[in-house]
């Protein structure tokens, strides 16, 4: 700790934390946090990120996109100019703003992951249902075949019984007539 203090690193850290402790390149900030914007902005953003030389119009468009992303933070004050600053190619963020934006991004991605998981589970359940329904149909057909076979066997026994009774009576009548 004494070495850090004497070498001036602690003082540099204090100054950095007092002003703009976080910095990112504008393009990397936009590409990292573009997911929390509307999908309508994506084609414009991808077009802007490909350009290397910044015209005045593209700089203003980048600034607008950064403002849109930062405005998603509930505690963001548009009138507070010290919360972040634009450099030529970098953004300098005040204390806590980048962390808040990262939290919003994490929540946004978490919600999307849940939606994807729900859809995937629904599809799995539906396909499992169709698969199970096919198996149930096979089981039902086997049971119906078994019941039909039992019914047919019973019917055959009854037919044989009726035939034997009929032959017995016919034989009895034939015997009576022959005596």
Query: What average pLDDT does the segment 34-43 reach?
Result: 71
Asked if residue 64 has pLDDT above 90, the reply is no
Asked if residue 142 has pLDDT above 70, the reply is yes
| 145 vs 116: CA distance, rounded Å | 43
157 against 78, higher pLDDT: 157
In which band, very low, low, confident or very high, does the pLDDT at 11 lie, cut at 50, 70 and 90? Answer: low
End-to-end Cα distance, the chain: 134
Asked if residue 112 has pLDDT above 70, the reply is yes
88 against 76, higher pLDDT: 88
Among 80, 45, 39, which residue's Cα sits nearest to residue 66? 45
Query: What average pLDDT does the segment 121-134 reach?
Result: 86
Asked if residue 42 has pLDDT above 70, the reply is no
Q: Across all residues in the chain, what is the average pLDDT?
A: 82
Using DSSP bridges, classify how beta strands 22-25 and 90-93 pair: parallel, antiparallel or unpaired: antiparallel
């Amino acid at each position: 700790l004494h070495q850090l203090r004497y070498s001036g690193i602690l003082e540099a850290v204090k100054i950095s934390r007092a002003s703009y402790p976080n910095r990112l390149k504008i393009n990397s900030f936009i590409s990292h946090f573009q997911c929390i914007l509307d999908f309508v902005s994506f084609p414009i953003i991808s077009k802007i990120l490909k350009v290397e030389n910044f015209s005045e119009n593209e700089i203003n468009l980048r600034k607008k996109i950064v403002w849109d992303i930062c405005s998603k933070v509930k505690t963001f004050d548009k009138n507070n100019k010290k919360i972040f600053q634009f450099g030529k190619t970098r953004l300098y963020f005040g204390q806590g703003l980048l962390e808040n934006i990262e939290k919003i991004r994490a929540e946004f991605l978490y919600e999307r992951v849940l939606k994807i998981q729900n859809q995937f589970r629904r599809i799995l359940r539906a396909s499992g249902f169709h698969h199970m329904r096919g198996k149930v149909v096979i089981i039902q057909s086997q049971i119906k075949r078994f019941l039909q076979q039992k019914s047919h066997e019973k019917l055959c026994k009854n037919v044989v019984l009726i035939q034997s009774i009929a032959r017995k009576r016919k034989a009895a009548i034939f015997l009576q007539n022959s005596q």
